[in-house]
Structure formats: structure tokens, C-alpha cells
Structure 1
Amino acid sequence: MRCMRDLWSRCFIEDFEDIYHMGYAFKMHDLMHDLAISVAKSECGEIKSNSQIVDRSVRHFSFIDLHSQDQKPLEVLVNRSKTLRSVIVMEQCEHIGVSIINTCLPKFKHLHLLCLKCIDFEVLPSSIGTLIHLRYLDLRFNILLKKLPESICQLQKLETFLLGGCSKLEKLPQKIQKIISLRHVEITTNERNLRENGIQCLCSLRYLFFYICENLVTLPEGMKGLTSLRTLYIGDCPLTSLPYGIKDLKRLQKLYIVSCRQLNLKMEFRGEDEDERRLGVRTFVIAHLPSLVDLPQLILQGSVNTLQCLRIESCPKLVKLPEWLQNLTSLQTIEIINCPSLSCLPEGMQRLTALRQLMIEGCPALSESCRRDDSR
């Protein structure tokens, strides 16, 4: 966040917007964009036509709007296989992506980045395991993808693995814990229960996203292995509860829970001493949870000294906020949106001396209560 705002203040980026505390939208300033293109043009190439002449020094390729079945662009990649570092295939170039998957993967042994987003194929071949230098693999929104080979677990240098929107993916690789360098993972899977000693053993993982997992009813109970996790996002999953083991995520800073229609979050302490209760969550966002009636004491009061932002949106069954909310004295922002059953704030809100912003929107009874109560 600090880095992004610094770039904004220096006019490197513009139209900067914080989107629901989940991410940022911005565009690069035109002058910075032109400078970046000028610096990178000797190594980066956008392929837009089959007849395009490509400089021999290009190592990073993006394929855009190639509708022809001509194989000339593919030949360009193969001829540069020893120097090739990045391949990005846009969805309009599906034939290029499918050809790469079926015939060319073993040739790209020095590849660092491979993006095959929205390319329709059912099975990723085992030859993916030969790309031992791969750092970034994007397979998002391949709606026909059903299976990943176990050889993918040989990618010891892989840091970013994106599987979000792969709605037919049957299961994750059995030995995914062997991809020891993973830092950012996005998952869509048809599994009901994630295997123990799997993804929760990735000690380098910092960002973990589950979304549109239509059958996922539980998350693993044991999470002690996720010692580096900073951000956890759970969206569009039929969970009824979160595992109590979430208390072991001592470095977790951001927790987002969105559009989980059956989820309630009544999570109370179970007699732990004060040190075991201590978490470090700074941003907690819940939205579109129609079954929610309680806020999680385990997470929020466990982060009493760190929590800065609390956003509650579209939780129609939430009738009241807990009295212990007044203990969250580090809170700087509270946003309550479209929670029509809420009618008042808890006593002791004046104790929140760090509070800088209180937003109430779409909560008519709560808004009226706050207007009438001069003491708050």
C-alpha cells in the first residue's frame, strides 16, 4: 500500500482507487508508459499479425488478436527457445495457446512466465514439469481444464500459481506441498474437502485465494504450516464455518470473506491464554453473507491491538454488533453497508479514539439511531 501511494504521489500512476480494501485500480501515466515501452522494446514484443517481423533480441512475447491458424508465430517461439523467458497468450489467440500446450512445452526449458488464461484445454500435459525455471503460471478461467499432472509439483521455483475460475478442475495435485517456493495461489476446485498435509503446508505462501469452489464445504483444520500467510480471501464457497485453526495464522494481516451464502462466523475463544489468542489482522472484510448473525470474536478480539479496518456489507441477518467491539481501539475505519437489521451501535464506541472514518450506508434504522444519539 505504501509503495503504491508513493508511486501515485510521484505521478508514476494516476486514477488511483482503493477497491473495497481488497486491491487497487490505477493506470500508468502516459509519459511513464511511453518510457517503459521505449526501454523494453528491445526485449519485449507484442505479436499482432502473422507477417510481423520480430527482432532477434526479443525474449518476452505477448500474442494479441491473432485469429488465423497460421503457425508462423509459433515457429518464432521455437526458434528462440533457449532465450525465451515470458509467453503471454490472450484469449483471442486460443490456437497458439493450445499448440504451445500440445507440442512446445518441453522446448521452453528456460521459461520464467507462462500465461495461458482463457485457453480451452482439458488436461495439462506432464511435460509442464520440465519447465524447472518457471516462476509464474497463469491458467485462470480455463473452463474445460479437468486435471493437472503430478509432474507440476517438480516446479520448485514456482512462486505464483493461478487456477481461479477453472470450474471443472477435479482436484489439486496430490503433492502440491512440494512446490516449496509458492507465494501466491488462487484456487477453484470441485473438491469437497482439501487434503490434509497439502496446501496448508506451504510455509512460503503469502496470498491464498479460494473462489467459486462450488463443492468446498470445509477448509483444513490444521493451518500451522502457513507461517508466512498475509492475505486470505474466501469467496463463493459453500462453507458453513471457518476452521478454528485459523487462530494459528499469526502473520495474517488481511482477511476477506465474500458471497459464502451458508457461512456463520460465531467463533469464540476456547480457554487459550492471552499469548495464544493474539493475532495480527489489520483488515477484515465480510460481504454478501446472508446467513451471518455473529462476528468472529476469535479473529477480531484476537486482533485487538492491530485491527485498523472493518467492513461489513450486505449481511441482512446481522441484528447487533458485539459489545466487545469497543475494545478494538486500533480501529481507524468502520464501514457498515446494506445491513438493514442493524439498529444501533454498541455502548462504549467513544473508546475507539483512533477512529477516523465511520461509514453507514443502506442501514436506515442504524443511521437514524446515530443521528439521534448526540453522545456518539
Structure 2
Amino acid sequence: MFSVVNVQCPQQLKRLNLSESVYLRRLPNLSSATELEWISLQGCESLLEIPLSIQCLQKLVCLDLEGCKKLRSLPNLVQLKSLKELSLSYCSNLKMLPEIPIGIEELELEDCGLEGLPSSVPFLEDIYILKLRNCENLLSLPSSFHLKNVDALDLSGCSNLTKLPEIIGDLKVLLLNKTAIEELPSSIRSFSSLVVLNMKGCKSLKNLPSCICDMKFLQMLILSGCSKLGKLPPLYGLCSLRELYVDGTALVEIPIDIYAAECLQRLVLSGCSKLAKLRPLHDFSHLTLSYLDGTVLIEILIKRLNGRRSTFVMYHKRLHALPLNCTLMDTAGSYIVPIAEFEELSGSYNVYNYCNSVNWDQNARGDIMVDALLRMKEISITSDTDAHVIVGLPGSEIPEGFNYQSPGSSMDVLFPQCCFNSLFLGFAFCVVLDFEVPVVPKEGGAFNGISHTLPQV
């Protein structure tokens, strides 16, 4: 261990960098270094105190004390009128923050030992970065916050924080995951520009205010692991909502106005043991649904094809077959298309195998063919190299859309002269083969399906 208390700082010194001086215990008298603008003591794990002479540094702009683990207190810093950046992250033994100047713009307190904040913090009108993540000892916050320039407030991991203060500002991101918050304040309605609200693991949360529906720009609502949450608020105003995570909650049902969230693309329901039945999800044109079937996580893509409200195409990542009697899905008036087994044989091959789906009707096959052709066009446009798409279907007839058909193993086709130009994407072929047992394609193999070779154009 060493100290530099007897060293005199040069008067014209502007930057003092003692970062990672792990044996440094004390600093010299700083009163003579009146030109100092920047001090970094990051990682000085043995530093015990900051001298009172720091109050003489009227030009100090940045003070970085991140990782000073043995630091237990700080002198009053309110005299430092030029101070804009203060970092006390990972100062695990620092229990109280002194008064700080109102001109602070960046205040970083992540993984700090703070139990509370001084009265000046809520009135930092110029602040635009405020980090309080993982302050596990933080018991409370001032009753109100003025955060007019702060876009994101991260209180995640503040595991003893039970109440969120009234916040005045225009937040876009609010992270409250793994806090002990029991309810949100009524001021949440003023967050008209909020895009992300994360309350994952808030096990004390029992309900959400109905004013949530006023957040027309909210795109992601994460309530995973809120085990006491038994009901969702109205969703009718969440016209921008794209992702809704309610896995591990006590929800009994999904509100009927979920259809108002017309932009919803992901709904996660894993671990909702009290959820008996889902409402029909016909009105969503593209929605990924995640839930648990026993112990297996299933991810399903529900996609409306060809304008038909009653058509579902369902995929999942880990199973080779999807039960037709999905207990969560109301399938009345609809048919369920089972898993498409997706394989990438190489970088230029895309394989979708539906060969084992022998219970499909003609409408299902037709819709899959339409979807397959759309996939081909998308891949041909986005691929930089030659690409192949292979789709396997059950059946004994060539699907509609193949204008040239012939029995046997060959066929003559006359192509118009104008078709071979920069807009030409490739060829689509279909062959009907007879197998004694259902087949899963392997590299070099073939099955009842279509193959589309896409040349580079």
C-alpha cells in the first residue's frame, strides 16, 4: 500500500490519471491544482478517501471513481460548479452520496452500495445519463424526479426498491426488472413516448395501471416472471406493441382487446400454468407464439396466408412434429398445419419438409405452395449467390400453378424469348414420387416437392 499525501500537484495540471493504481490509499493535497479538469481513479481498489481539497477544483469537469471498492464516503461536491460527469459505479462500500452540483449531465451509480440519494438529484435539470442498475442496497428514491433530458432510466437489479417515484420527463426506455416494485405510479401515463417497459422478475407486482393503454408508442412490454400478476390492463391503445412477454405470470386469460395490438409479432406464454385457453388469434397476420408443452419450449409462427383468416401455418424449433390438439389454441373453424422441418443442407440450400403431414386438405397444400413461392422470390432477391429452395409435400397430384405438366420423366417446354432478362429469377419444378414410408430428405435425396434453382443475375 502507498500514499501520495506529501506530493504537491503542479498548478497547471489539467488531467490526472491514476487508474488501476490498486495499492493507492490516499491522494495528495489538490488545492494547488486549480486547473484540473479531469481526474480518473478508476480501479483504485485500496483508495480510502477523497481529500477535502477537491472542493477547490472549480474547473473540474469529470471525476471517475469507478471500482473504488473501499471508498466509504465523499466530501460535499456541490461547490464544483463545472462538474458534468461523476462515476461511482462499483463503489460497493459507499452508502451515501453527498450533495452534487445541479449542472451534472452524467451520473453513473451502477452496482454501488448506496442506500439513498441526496435531495439535489431529482432536480438535475441538465442530466441525460442516470445509471442506477444493480444498487441492491437502495431502499428508496426521492418522491419525484425531473428527468426531462433522460431517454433511458435503468433501475434493474435494485432488488430492495419497492416504490417508483413520480417521474417528470419523456422517457423512452424504463428498466425495472428484478426490483421489488409492487405497483407503478399514476405518472406513468405521462410517458407518452415510452418504447420499452421491462418489469421482468418483479415478483411483488400484482397489477398494472389501466393508463398503460395510453402508451401508443410502446413496442416492448416484458412482464416475464411477475408471478403475482393475475391480470393484464386494457391493451386497446397499444397500437405499436410488437412484443409481449407474460411467461411465468399468474394470468388466467389474455384480454379480448389484444386484437387492438395489431402490430404484435411476439407473444410469450411459457410457464403460465393458470392460463387454460387462448382466444383465437386469427386476426394476426404474423405472430410468433412461445409456450411450454410439458417441459418442451415450443415456438410457433402463426401466419395468415392468401388472405384467409382461418389458415394457420405453425412452426417450432425443437420438435419434429407438432400435436394437432394444441391445448392452448382454439382451433374451431380452422385447420392447423403442423411443423415444417427446416434444414440447411449447405449455404445455398433451404429445405422445408412437410412430407409427414399426411392429414392436410387441398386448401392447406395450396396455401403452403403460395407461401413457398413467396419464400423463393424473397431468397432470390436477397441472395448474393446461386440458391436452392426445396419444399416437400404429401400428395399424389401436381399443385396448381405449374402450367406445364406431363407424366413420365421428361417434358418439353417452350420459353418466351423475353423471359431471360435481368428480372429472371430461375425455374420451379415439381415431381411426384411414390414412397412406401414417409421420408425425411437428406443431402442428395429427393421427395414429393418442388425445387427452385436461383441463378445469380
Q: TM-score range by the shorter chain?
A: 0.5 to 0.7
Aligned to 1:165: 178
For 1:179-224, what per-residue CA distance to the aligned partner results, in whole angstroms no more than 9, with x for missing partners?
22211111236343333x321221121221112211011212x312
Residues 35-74 of structure 1 aligned to structure 2 (within 5 Å): 47-49=42-44, 64-72=66-74
Q: Which has the higher contact order (CA 8 A, sep 6+)?
A: 1
| Contact persistence 2:103–2:125 (CA under 8 A) | no
Residue 210 (structure 1) aligns with: 223
**Partner letter of residue 114 of structure 1?**
L
Partner residue of 2:146 out of 130, 147, 153: 130
TM-score normalized with structure 1 length: 0.61
1:44-94 deviations in whole A, cap 9, x for unaligned?
Answer: 9784346699996856x8763221234449838965245432223231x32
Structure 2 residue identity aligned to 1:371: V
Contact 1:85 1:113 in 2 (8 A): yes
Larger Rg, first or second structure (1 or 2): 2
Q: Which amino acid aligns with 2:134?
A: C
The aligned amino acid for 1:279 is: F
Aligned to 2:97: none
Alignment match, 2:163 = 147
Contact 2:147/2:169 (<8 A) preserved: no
Q: Measure, in 2, the Cα distance between the counterparts of 1:239 and 1:89.
A: 35
Matched with 2:207 is: 193
Q: Residue 234 of structure 1 contacts residue 256 of structure 1 at CA under 8 Å; is this kept in 2?
A: yes
Distance across 2 between alignment mates of 1:183 and 1:83:
27
- CA distance in structure 1 between the aligned counterparts of 2:122 and 2:155, rounded to whole angstroms: 18
Q: Is the 8 A contact 2:235 2:257 kept in 1?
A: yes
Backbone CA RMSD of aligned residues: 4.8
CA deviation string 1:113-151 (max 9, x = no partner): 21211112222221x4233332211101111111123x2
Deviation at 1:324, TM superposition (A): 3.3
Higher helix share: 1
Q: Read off the aligned partner of 1:48 and give its amino acid letter.
A: G
Q: Distance in 2 between matches of 1:255 and 1:55?
A: 53
Per the normalisation by structure 2, the TM-score is 0.51
Q: Are the equivalent residues in 2 in contact too, given 1:216–1:239 (CA < 8 A)? A: yes
Check the 8 A contact 1:304/1:327 in 2, yes or no.
Answer: no
Within 1, Cα distance between the matches of 2:127 and 2:297? 49
Matched, 1:87 2:103: no
Partner residue of 2:284?
279
Following superposition, the deviation at residue 251 of structure 1 comes to: 2.0
Q: Cα distance, 1:257 vs. partner?
A: 3.3
Distance 2:306 2:164 in 1: 42
Shift in CA distance, 55/265, structure 1 to aligned 2, threshold 3 Å: farther
Of residues 231, 234, 250, the one that matches 2:246 is: 234
* Equivalent of residue 335 in structure 2, options 321, 324, 328: 324
Equivalent residues in 2 for 1:108-119, closer than 5 Å = 108-119=124-135
User: Residues 218-277 of structure 1, C-alpha deviation per residue, up to 9 Å, x if partnerless?
Assistant: 212x312112222222232122332221111112233333333333453227xxxxxxx6
Work out the percentage of aligned pairs sharing the same amino acid: 18
Residue 252 of structure 1 is aligned with which of 264, 272, 286?
A: 264
